[in-house]
Structure 1
Amino acid sequence: MTSPSLAKLTDDLSQPLDQTALRSVDRAIGELRRGDPVLVEDLEGRLALALSVEAVTAEALEELRKSAGAAPVLAVTRPRAVAIGLPGQQAPVVTLALTGGLDADAIHALVDPTRRTSEGPGPTLSVAPAELGTREGAAVALAKLARLLPAAVVAPVRPPRGATAGTWAAKHDLMLVRARDILDYQTHAARTLTLVGDAAVPLVDAENTRVLAFRPPDGGVEHLAIVIGDPSAQDGPALVRLHSECFTGDLLGSLRCDCGDQLRGAIAEIARQGSGIVLYLAQEGRGIGLVNKLRAYQLQDEGFDTVEANEMLGFDADERVYLPAAEMLRQLGFSQVRLLTNNPDKLRQLARCGIEVIDRVPHVFPSNGHNEAYLKTKAERSGHMF
């Protein structure tokens, strides 16, 4: 029997693509990263202005109030709500109100655990009524897609009688984006990856190597397939490594993680076995982005482990998605793989995406004196098999 999660994924993948929807989300991501608000519309046609918390200043907050004509609330993820002292939350996104209203300093103190604030009592919190529907969830999801802190200031908007969402957005020079399009974005973007580059790139441990670049339809960052040797589905399941980009480990040789060892080790092992593929996925820091990963490192230096640091920032322990990997494998002609990994979640996720994992090949490297705690957390908190 098909599981509910797989059934939902299959249903999502059966829906027709809307290229306009993908472009609108991509443009909204850009607006949010520039510090501008966007207008979010839910399925019922209700509207809300959303602003990234990283862009909040006293002036920006006042402008948001004036434009919306209503008091904004702060939308945070459940992990962040728990971290700031609101346990027992069930919804994935929680809306917060402050006694006396929101102000910029209180917002930054509530959403950024790396921000240093003056001593004194913290703001008095209350959970705001969830009358915003899916709009606050979509606003936080958009902040995640933008690789910003996963929180947003959201204010409901009620346009004058007779005004449409489009005309109101145009009048206020705002990007209008549908909540549903934001929430479906990763699924739909992964479905339409396009091969845009393919070249021979001889490597130190694997001279017979090609690198193929797959670009999402919104023009975002490419995912790469490092094809070693000449793997063919006719010869059986390919030996595959899923590797999420790690600027600090892969490029700089950081000792805080084992990513560089895993990448170079995978290339060498695949070459030794004759052929296979390393999928280099554009999802830095387990999907939270480089800047947020640096914030997580700061929290780890204060005594939190990897999982706790991500959750302190408001993220899940692992935000990665593997639909792009599955789509790349399908385009390369593979539906069955031998997976080079220690992470059982990768086995489950690929299976959810329709790729059969025939075998798990262990991929273990010794600690280096700096990453013992990191590897211990992987094993104890994330179930990695070392």
Structure 2
Amino acid sequence: MSLTGHLAASLHDRGLGGDQASAARALRAVHRAMAELRRGTPVLIRGGDHTLIIAAAETVSARGLSELGLAGIGPAVLLLAPVRAAAVLQRPVPQDAPGTEAGAVALRLPPALLDPAVLRSLADPTAERLLPAEPERVGAPALASAAIALAKLARLLPALVAAPAAEAASGRLDLLSVEAGHIAAYPDTAAGTLTRVAEARVPLEDAPEARLVAFRAADGGIEHLAILVGQPEQALAEGSVPLARIHSECFTGDLLGSLRCDCGPQLRGAIKRMAEDPSGGVLLYLAQEGRGIGLVNKLRAYALQDQGLDTLDANRALGYGADERNFWVAAEMLRAVGIGRVRLLTNNPDKLAGLAACGIGVEGREAHQFAANGVNDAYLQTKARRFGHLLT
């Protein structure tokens, strides 16, 4: 489903599934499960009559593999996101093919590959190829797609060792368990629990009249920031529509001045333009590095780009989609600062449609284009050609 379609569906289906306390408990369980996967410990996913034990291929320890073997029923399989499986198999993987659950593909793991160092290489497309030339596809277990989703939320490569688990495994091995439904609801639920936790006046080089507002979700995860330039709330109350920009954090571009992207110029250019506009504006600085794949995976994608892949294909080779971001966060932040209508600074049509699908009045698009620098030329061409960005 496209980003726009996903957001429209979320708008229809969204809800915290109960009171704030139950939402916070669900968020806490998913957040803890993410942490367990990152430290190499298996977790259990429950849904309906099924229980699946999983471990992240890039972090699992020898002890984790032992626990997975003790709890699992039958041989373990390697779960991959379909786009990663297509890169491994070097051919497209139809979603209705045998052995495919929606969002996951399962490959048989020969016993010799059940080793932490080998599994790290299996997960990472920048490492040595260790799978057989024709890996054996097997039926993906129930809850496989929830496992892939959890790995992505943890900013890990969506490659997992998994097996159906015995119901008693959680108590016997003291493993954390999480509901599949809570994993699916996590992004929108987290956005719905955002709270203002700090704010201060922070004069900026190009915008002396600026304020920063920090937001944190109930899971206690990474904060998002709103940079308010001028008095956009007052302008809106007086009938003007302020500028807004959704800007995903980019450590390499925003802080280091990387020439591989145009993020730094876009960030500074947006702030300067808001300062010059009578209506001011708000820049939403979201903790969604690399279109939602995280900094480490973005660096892996860069390594693949140096081998000849473009931005989109590099993300797919890692197992991620073209854009993994959730713009509910942006919409909730705008509402929290009293901004319900905006003129959006963007070249990305999906941001326009996505923000509108989240209930924000998008009154128009303001082009936000910067010239190529000799290094990011192909990157910008890919944004226009394959992501549909309006750069002409």
TM-score normalized by structure 2? 0.90
Partner of 1:335: 340
Deviation of 1:6 (Å):
2.4
**Match among 46, 52, 62 for residue 50 of structure 2:** 46
The amino acid of 2:106's aligned partner reads T
Partner of 1:12: 14
In 2, distance between residues paired with 1:37 and 1:230? 49
Q: Is the 8 A contact 1:37 1:51 kept in 2?
A: yes
Deviation of 1:19 (Å):
1.5
The amino acid of 1:116's aligned partner reads E
Matched, 1:249 2:229: no
Partner of 1:287: 292
Q: Is the 8 A contact 2:77 2:108 kept in 1?
A: yes
Q: Is the 8 A contact 1:99 1:126 kept in 2?
A: no
Q: 1:368 to 1:282 in 2, by over 3 A?
A: same
Q: Is the 8 A contact 1:81 1:89 kept in 2?
A: no
**Match among 263, 267, 272 for residue 268 of structure 1:** 272
Q: After the TM superposition, which residues 12-161 of structure 1 pair with which residues of structure 2 at under 5 Å, given as runs?
A: 12-13=14-15, 15-16=17-18, 17=20, 18-42=23-47, 44-56=48-60, 60-85=64-89, 86-90=91-95, 91-98=102-109, 102-104=113-115, 107-117=119-129, 122-130=132-140, 132-133=141-142, 135-159=143-167
Q: Is the 8 A contact 2:331 2:355 kept in 1?
A: yes
What is the aligned-residue RMSD (CA, Å)? 2.0
In 1, distance between residues paired with 2:177 and 2:16? 25
In 1, distance between residues paired with 2:262 and 2:337? 28
**What's the CA shift string for 1:67-91, capped at 9, x where partnerless?**
3243111111110111112523213
**What's the CA shift string for 1:180-202, capped at 9, x where partnerless?**
10111001000010000010000
Q: Is the 8 A contact 2:79 2:159 kept in 1?
A: yes
In 2, distance between residues paired with 1:194 and 1:210? 17
Q: Is the 8 A contact 2:207 2:272 kept in 1?
A: yes
In 1, distance between residues paired with 2:8 and 2:16? 12
Deviation of 1:4 (Å):
8.8
In 2, distance between residues paired with 1:14 and 1:192? 9
Does the residue aligned with 1:84 lie in a helix, a strand or coil? helix
Partner of 1:349: 354
Q: Is the 8 A contact 1:240 1:340 kept in 2?
A: yes
Does the residue aligned with 2:58 lie in a helix, a strand or coil? helix
The amino acid of 2:156's aligned partner reads L
Deviation of 1:101 (Å):
7.4
Q: List alignment gaps of at least 5 residues for structure 2.
A: 96-101
In 2, distance between residues paired with 1:8 and 1:296? 28
In 2, distance between residues paired with 1:116 and 1:102? 13
TM-score normalized by structure 1? 0.91
**What's the CA shift string for 1:15-39, capped at 9, x where partnerless?**
4352111100111111111111111
Deviation of 1:47 (Å):
0.9
**Match among 328, 332, 336 for residue 323 of structure 1:** 328
Q: 1:61 to 1:171 in 2, by over 3 A?
A: closer
**What's the CA shift string for 1:100-149, capped at 9, x where partnerless?**
6753366444431101357xx8354222113x22x211111111111110
**What's the CA shift string for 1:193-221, capped at 9, x where partnerless?**
00000100000010000000010110001
Identity %: 51
The amino acid of 2:148's aligned partner reads V
**What's the CA shift string for 1:43-78, capped at 9, x where partnerless?**
x13111110011245664344212324311111111
Q: 1:95 to 1:138 in 2, by over 3 A?
A: same
Q: Is the 8 A contact 1:338 1:360 kept in 2?
A: yes
Partner of 2:99: none
In 2, distance between residues paired with 1:379 and 1:313? 22
Q: Is the 8 A contact 1:109 1:115 kept in 2?
A: yes
The amino acid of 2:124's aligned partner reads D
Q: Is the 8 A contact 2:343 2:366 kept in 1?
A: yes
**Aligned residue pairs, count:** 372
Partner of 1:206: 207
Q: List alignment gaps of at least 5 residues for structure 1.
A: none
In 2, distance between residues paired with 1:8 and 1:325? 14
Q: Is the 8 A contact 1:98 1:124 kept in 2?
A: no
